[in-house]
């Protein structure tokens, strides 16, 4: 009788412990329900930063195919993963209303911005452009051009600054159904 009572209590403790552990583990995972998520996938073998929208569209943002400018340790795949992480951070922080060009520590950069007048900072930096590159041309080439077709998405406020309305960009961009997740 005592053994059976002990077994029942032990089972109860184990179940309670597992329930508490499961609840804690679930609460620590980030929840992206209802929002856009960014990830590094592949398209035809090339690393691509994708945005997965609320309605499950996989929108290719940036194809990472050039290795010319970067140190060897910064492979296309590593840059893809890092920039995808930065897009997600900016989206989660509410600063990804615009994608814009700017200058940070003397380098031409692409960053997230809450508004068109915001300046680029370390916390909004998405990636650095190659020295001497034309920011406008690079933005048009890097970002999925199909999303820029609408015209009202792209706002060139000065010779060096480009602002892209991110929501409009996503709404106008075509998706890619056959992406490979990394």
What are the tens digits of pLDDT across the range 120-147? 999 999 998 888 888 877 777 766 555 4
Question: DSSP secondary-structure letter at 69?
Answer: S
**What contacts 24+ positions apart, CB below 8 Å, involve 119-127?**
123/93, 123/95, 124/90, 124/95, 125/86, 126/83, 126/86, 126/87, 126/90, 126/99, 127/79, 127/83, 127/86
Task: Indicate the helix (H) or strand (E) that contains 157.
Answer: none
What's the whole-model pTM score? 0.72
What's the rounded Cα separation, in Å, for the pair 28 and 54? 22
Rg (C-alpha) for the chain, rounded Å, is 22
Between the ranges 5-9, 109-113, 149-153, 173-177, where is the mean pLDDT highest? 109-113
CA-CA distance, 36 to 23, in Å (whole number)?
25
Residue 19: exposed, middle, or buried by beta-carbon count in 10 A (0-12, 13-18, 19+)? Answer: exposed
8 A C-beta contact, residue 131 and residue 107: yes
CA-wise closest residue to 124 among 64, 80, 169, 83: 83
Asked if 166 and 118 count as a contact pair (C-beta separation under 8 A), the reply is no
pLDDT in tens, 69-116: 778 888 999 999 999 999 999 999 999 999 999 999 999 999 999 998
Instruction: Decide if pLDDT at 19 tops 50.
Output: no
Please report which residue ranges of 29-122 form alpha helices under DSSP H. Answer: 76-93
């Amino acid at each position: 009788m005592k053994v059976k009572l002990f077994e029942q209590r032990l089972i109860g403790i184990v179940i309670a412990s597992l329930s508490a552990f499961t609840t804690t583990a679930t609460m620590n995972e980030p929840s992206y329900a209802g929002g856009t998520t960014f990830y590094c996938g592949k398209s035809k073998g090339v690393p691509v930063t994708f945005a997965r929208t609320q309605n499950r569209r996989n929108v290719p943002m940036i194809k990472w195919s050039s290795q010319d400018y970067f140190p060897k340790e910064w492979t296309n795949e590593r840059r893809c993963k890092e920039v995808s992480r930065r897009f997600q951070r900016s989206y989660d922080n509410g600063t990804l209303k615009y994608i814009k060009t700017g200058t940070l520590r003397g380098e031409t950069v692409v960053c997230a911005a809450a508004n068109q007048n915001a300046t680029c900072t370390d916390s909004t930096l998405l990636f650095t452009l190659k020295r001497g590159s034309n920011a406008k041309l690079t933005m048009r080439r890097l970002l999925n051009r199909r999303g820029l077709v609408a015209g009202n998405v792209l706002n060139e406020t000065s010779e060096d600054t480009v602002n892209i309305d991110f929501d409009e960009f996503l709404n106008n961009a075509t998706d890619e159904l056959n992406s490979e997740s990394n």
